[in-house]
Structure 1
Amino acid sequence: MKSTSKALLMPVLLAGWYLVAFGADDPFPSIARLPERRLFEVDKYGHPHITDENKREVARLAASSESPPELRFMAVWGLAISGYSAESADALIKVVRSGKNNNDREYAAMGLRNFSLDLPADTKNEVQTILWELVKSEGSRCPAGIVRLVVDWGGAAWVASQFKDHLHGHPMEIEILQKLPADKAIPLLLEIYHTTKRDNTTDSYNQRAAVGRALVNFRDKRGIDILDTLLDAASVPLHDDAPNHQFRHNVLRFIFSAVGDNFGYMHDNYDPSIDEAVLKFKEWWLRKRYEFELSKK
């Protein structure tokens, strides 16, 4: 039997070396066997981190149509959350424009959003022009991350005018509405609430919470009224057949920031003592609702 040639043996040995070097429980299993795995460090959250000296090479991987899909996604994700560089920005712009993989485009848009304060003015203007062209050509089919970036950069009214009737029911509807003038946004936000309050699903709960927060940001006390309805244990949607009380916790913490009082509840995550805090808040809101004024954000 002929011995295995060195040319055939080397990739196997290389892949084996990477598995040993990074371990069987590699946090990025989709690229664990690839030589390019060496370019990806792990941040404290278990997410990919790209060091400055590796950004140029990772940017090339992100922008190349020749990169394996899993590697290209990891490159886009890593660049998006590893801080600004000119090479990172150029690569993410190319991914956003590519129109091929919407998941990659979402993460690339997130990265450009993260770079907002660091982008040179001429580059930001170029990106803004590209984004508007994409929204205009793709309409309501445009990935939410791209639409979000347009909205964050002051284009909410323009997006609403482009979407027209397609804005209703769009995943970005509430985010867009809360950037519009109050007289236009509030009636539409209340309409969303009235059409979702009959459902006891996670999506409905999240929509009502988003409407409540948006109204609070407009300094409309009806937002607190809506959030108040989400605090009862019976209103919590189920997760694995059990109520997920973290939903209530998140809503109550937002209320605390809006009214300037934590009612003795100081937990970072759900704690059963929330019931006592909810009762204190409800009693306070019943007494203070009509005289209380929400402060400007």
Structure 2
Amino acid sequence: MTFDAHQRQRTVIDQMGREVSFPYPPLRIVSLVPSQTELLFDLGLQKQLEGVTKFCIHPPNARHTASVIGGTKNFDFAKIKATRPDLIIGNKEENYQEGINQLALQYPVWMSNVADLPEALDMIRRIGDITSKSRIAESLASAIQQSFDKLLLPTPPLQAAYFIWRKPYMVAASGTFIDDMLRRAGFRNAFAHVGRYPEVTSEQLAKASPAHIFLSSEPYPFGEKHVAEFQEICPTAKIQVVNGELFSWYGTRLLLSATYFQKLQHARGLE
């Protein structure tokens, strides 16, 4: 690790409670998470961003202005080394512990841990702080908070199941960021009694009998062709393909989420 004349050593605690020491402000950054890559661009750090994952699709030029260093769960360590990072930014859930541990032996690795909106806003502010972009980060976080504060919710909340995978069926359940977004969007998770991302059978879905079934556009690319499949299992449910990014990306894409949730309610006649 080398220092520019304008850098100094700084030590902070990340969202996982880990102590991280790095050259401040970092001039060469690698992002291991798509939603945080978008945040870094929105903070005006595109020139400092040296490495991103193959899933970093926002903004569209992200993978052209920085090196692609593999996926979120299979890093290309040689490509990361070639970027000579001052700081690597990852996430507890989206990245794999073995890979993070290996990187942390050689580089400063700052980790986020986001399971709800307050933690997402804290992440945005902290990344702003460690990259010398606190003012912009505070403005973004405040705008996101204000958009959610204005969100009108139906009473009582309607039960919904949120599917992220097919063959096997998997849902987002309690303890996930998606679960928090569902609640803020005015829905009660049909699988709130189960932890994280469980597999569910057709029989379990039929027994739960949710009023709404949301088929996420990611990570599995659900489309309209899958609606009939779920309609057979739950004939009375209202089934919709939803924008997975607006339910699961916890960076600046959240600026679009509250408006999307309001439109989702209108589309379902909830207001």
> How high is the TM-score relative to the length of structure 1?
0.25
Structure number with the higher strand fraction is: 2
Task: Please identify the structure whose Cα radius of gyration is greater.
Answer: 1
> How high is the TM-score relative to the length of structure 2?
0.26
